[in-house]
Chain A
Amino acid sequence: MHPAPSVILFTTLSGLGFGLLFFLGLGMPDVTGMVSFVFFAIAYALAVGGLLASTFHLGHPERAIKAFSQWKTSWLSREGCCAVAALVVMGLYAIGTVFLDTQWTIFGIIGAVLSLATVFTTSMIYAQLKTIPRWNMPLTPAMFISFSLAGGALLAGQETMATALLIIAGLVQLGYWSYGDKAFAGSGTTMETATGLGDRGAVRAFEPPHTGSNYLLREFVHVVGRKHSQKLRMIGFGLGFALPVLLLLLPIEGLALKHTVAAIAVLSHMAGISCSRWLFFAEAEHVVGLYYGKR
């Protein structure tokens, strides 16, 4: 799949934002007033910024409102509904903590659940697609949710929880890569089933239908060298999980230093997740490539 920057940015940022909202809704950290305002500002900037970035890849962003209508069947529509519901409910909760010095726990809990549900619906947009075997696995939602929770805990300053969640997310990442590498072969879709000609011999693409490129090739056929992808996996894993965990485990004295180290951990995590998300798209192979003898 073509790794579109807008979609990578969207899933990375909004995943983090909704993860942070999840913890804020559960009262972690338990803050009010100005501090609470800063936390919510960061969470909303990430979540809303991500959502806005995602509209950049639409052909007709001005009609985006129509995307709320088909929640009965469409995960993309469900994502939109969940995101707006989460932002509204968490907004009410934020008003309480920031301006009224009160925590409306019930709004917080509902908002936290909706925030996590938003991340789940995002992941299902990809996981539902049988046409992309590498995404069509339960590990896809597991990955999105574990990343969001780990990043959220990190941003919320929940050190012990963040350490544990980062380790879990790192393991899910490794599992996703190892299963994902076998997914296409395991799907049973081949050039032979695509053309229905398999029972008469080996099928080879002889001539493509067109001499130039087209929408399908640009969107669905993206080849990443294996060496290249192994390197990027190492960078993504190192920055996203290993380094933040190490930084969290460092025994540090002094508030200023602690904040600096935490900030480095957050930035490193964000860079790592972006790298992993780039690979998530770039390595995903669509079965339509088979008609072109490509993957």
Chain B
Amino acid sequence: MTELPNSTERKMGLVIDLDTCVGCHACVISCKGWNTENYGAPLSDQDPYGADPSGTFLNRVHSFEVQPKPCGSEPAPAAQLIHFPKSCLHCEDAPCVTVCPTGASYKRVEDGIVLVNEDNCIGCGLCAWSCPYGARELDLAAGVMKKCTLCVDRIYNDNLPEEDRIPSCVRTCPAGARHFGDLGDPNSDVSKLVAERDGMDLMPEMGTKPVNKYLPPRPKDQMEDQIDILAPLLAPVAEEPGGFMGWLDKALDKLPGQTSGGSN
């Protein structure tokens, strides 16, 4: 079972747009919700209302700051904040599958989804050690390995209305930052998106050949000199008070004691 298939009929996966993700964590919550009530053991929490809460999640959103190097046209470039959702990338050359001693971890031939058969999992944790992306978490209550299932129990589920037959995280994303489809088919919407936006692999040097792709953030808009068309109206009317107010100001300054009110 833990031998990887030579090739899979389809390569179902996610395309994550780092340009549009707003870091709201809605995908994190909807993933946890769906997967706690469906496929396999629920995603448990430890000490959820106590001092040291932690729990199992299949999808987590990091936030990174990128500081571009100063250059001629931009001597002091602004740092960019990038929200970075991360779940299993359903790698073609998945090390987590081949290291599994029991055959519990496997990659499906029909669609390339990497899954854990929880009845066979001994909870040794080796697959999590072998995953570069931190996509697998051992559930402390169930003692078995949990990972993104690509919502295998939604995408083929005839009991759901058609528009819900996509992963929970994709369905939930309010920014449209997550896309689902067949990355093995060059004519699919997701493949076209990846081609158009130069979709990239994470840690390509690890040789895992991830199916999921990340779309890099677009360059930031350049600030024009004029920030706002209303700006001229907001400029201070007079820098220094003159006339009666100016005289009063100076006279008050001359009074002994605290200059209260900060008029200077």
Interface residues of A (CB under 8 A from B): 1, 57-61, 63-64, 66-70, 72-77, 80, 125, 128-132, 187-189, 191, 193-197, 200-210, 212-216, 219-220, 286-288, 291-292
Contacts across chains A and B counted by CB atoms under 8 Å: 200
What would 8 more interface pairs be, CB under 8 Å, given A66-B120, A67-B122?
Answer: A60-B144, A70-B2, A73-B98, A196-B214, A213-B52, A216-B137, A288-B132, A291-B62
- Report the Cα distance A59→B82, complex, angstroms: 36
Least distance between B72 CB and chain A CB atoms (Å): 16
B171 at the interface (CB under 8 A from A): no
Q: List 28 A-B contacts (CB under 8 A).
A: A58-B123, A59-B144, A60-B122, A60-B144, A63-B121, A69-B101, A70-B1, A70-B102, A73-B98, A74-B98, A74-B100, A77-B101, A128-B99, A131-B131, A193-B204, A196-B202, A201-B77, A202-B66, A202-B69, A205-B62, A205-B65, A214-B57, A215-B128, A219-B128, A220-B134, A287-B206, A288-B133, A291-B84
- Report the Cα distance A63→B117, complex, angstroms: 13
B38 at the interface (CB under 8 A from A): no
B86 at the interface (CB under 8 A from A): yes
If A212-B52, A291-B62 touch, whether A57 touches B125 (CB-CB below 8 Å) is yes
- Report the Cα distance A66→B100, complex, angstroms: 11
Chain B residue, CB-CB nearest to A74:
B101
Interface residues of B (CB under 8 A from A): 1-3, 18, 25, 28, 52-57, 60-69, 77, 79-82, 84, 86, 95, 97-104, 120-126, 128-134, 137-138, 140, 142-145, 200-207, 214, 216-217
- Report the Cα distance A206→B62, complex, angstroms: 8
If A66-B103, A131-B130, A216-B137 touch, whether A205 touches B64 (CB-CB below 8 Å) is yes
Please report whether the interface of chain B is mostly helix, strand, loop or mixed according to DSSP.
Answer: loop
With a CB–CB cut-off of 8 A, which chain A residues contact B140?
215
Q: Is the CB of A214 within 8 A of B62?
A: no
- Report the Cα distance A271→B210, complex, angstroms: 43
Q: Is the CB of B132 within 8 A of A131?
A: yes
Q: Is the CB of A209 within 8 A of B67?
A: no
If A132-B129, A196-B214, A216-B137 touch, whether A73 touches B2 (CB-CB below 8 Å) is yes
- Report the Cα distance A66→B80, complex, angstroms: 49
Q: Of A1, A74, A288, which contacts B99 at CB under 8 A?
A: A74
With a CB–CB cut-off of 8 A, which chain A residues contact B97?
73
Least distance between B44 CB and chain A CB atoms (Å): 11
- Report the Cα distance A216→B143, complex, angstroms: 15
Q: Is the CB of B65 within 8 A of A204?
A: yes
- Report the Cα distance A212→B217, complex, angstroms: 28
Least distance between B209 CB and chain A CB atoms (Å): 13
Q: Is the CB of B98 within 8 A of A131?
A: no
Least distance between A77 CB and chain B CB atoms (Å): 4
Closest 5 CB pairs of A and B: A59-B123, A59-B143, A209-B60, A201-B68, A77-B101
With a CB–CB cut-off of 8 A, which chain A residues contact B64?
191, 195, 197, 203-206
- Report the Cα distance A131→B100, complex, angstroms: 15
Chain A residue, CB-CB nearest to B28:
A209
Q: Is the CB of B54 within 8 A of A76?
A: no
Chain A residue, CB-CB nearest to B85:
A209
Q: Is the CB of B122 within 8 A of A63?
A: yes
Q: Is the CB of B126 within 8 A of A76?
A: yes
Least distance between B226 CB and chain A CB atoms (Å): 27
- Report the Cα distance A169→B115, complex, angstroms: 41
- Report the Cα distance A58→B205, complex, angstroms: 30
- Report the Cα distance A80→B129, complex, angstroms: 19
Least distance between A61 CB and chain B CB atoms (Å): 7
Q: Is the CB of A59 within 8 A of B122?
A: yes
If A201-B69, A287-B203 touch, whether A195 touches B102 (CB-CB below 8 Å) is no
